Amino acid sequence: MFDLTALQWLIAPVPLLVLGLLIGSFLNVVIHRMPLMLERGWLGDIGEFLQDRKTLGRVLGDASMKRLGDAAGQGQRLAAELAQLPPLGLSKPRSRCPHCGHQIAWHENIPLISWLLLKGRCSECKAPISVRYPLIELLTGLLFAAVAWRFGASAATLVYCTATAVMVAAAFIDLDTTLLPDNLTLPLIALGVIAAWLGWTRVSLPDAALGAVFGYLSLWSVSTVYGLIKGQVGMAEGDFKLLAGLGALLGWQALLPIILMSSVVGAAIGIFLIVAKGHNREVPIPFGPYLAGGGMVVILMGHQAVMSLINI
pLDDT at residue 33 in the model: 95
Question: Could you tell me which residues come within 8 angstroms of residue 218 by beta carbon, excluding any fewer than 6 positions away?
Answer: 243, 255, 259
Task: Tell me the C-alpha distance between 4 and 20, whole Å.
Answer: 19
Residue 200, pLDDT score: 94
Provide block-wise average pLDDT over 10 residues at a time, the chain (312 residues).
Answer: 65 94 96 94 91 85 80 87 90 83 83 90 87 96 97 93 97 93 96 96 96 95 83 80 97 94 80 64 76 94 86 62
What does the pLDDT read at residue 278? 62
pLDDT value of position 284: 64
> pTM here?
0.90
* Structural domain boundaries in the chain: 154-311
Cα 244 to Cα 250: distance, rounded to the nearest angstrom: 10
